Amino acid sequence: MEISQLEWDVLNSVYFVETFDKILEEVDAPTPVVADVIKTLIHKKMIVSMQWDEQKQDYIRSFMYDSDNMQSYAYLITKEGLLAHNTL
């Protein structure tokens, strides 16, 4: 699967769980563009959204996310994302 340079940059920034704001710091693109790339990568199953769990004091996978509120989540690369990221 072919990925764009911007998708590659986002994948590069989520090898560990990263907040939306941290991804914005690492990727040189406007906020709406980064949000769209993240949505695309989630759709392609290359990253997953994560939410902070107060009880566990850790991030857990969120199977749903609010696409209008991307900054409320953190993101993590998946196996598919790792494979695509390493082929470019």
- Strand 18-19 to strand 74-77: parallel, antiparallel, or no bridges (unpaired)? antiparallel
Q: Which domains does the chain have, with CATH numbers?
A: 5-87 (1.10.10.10)
pLDDT band, very low/low/confident/very high, at 2 (cuts 50, 70, 90): confident
**How many CA atoms are closer than 13 Å to the CA of 20, on its beta-carbon side?**
23
pLDDT digits 0-9 by tens, 16-70 = 999 999 999 999 999 999 999 999 999 999 999 999 999 999 999 998 888 888 8
pLDDT value of position 19: 96
Number of helical (H) and strand (E) elements in the chain, helices listed first: 4, 4
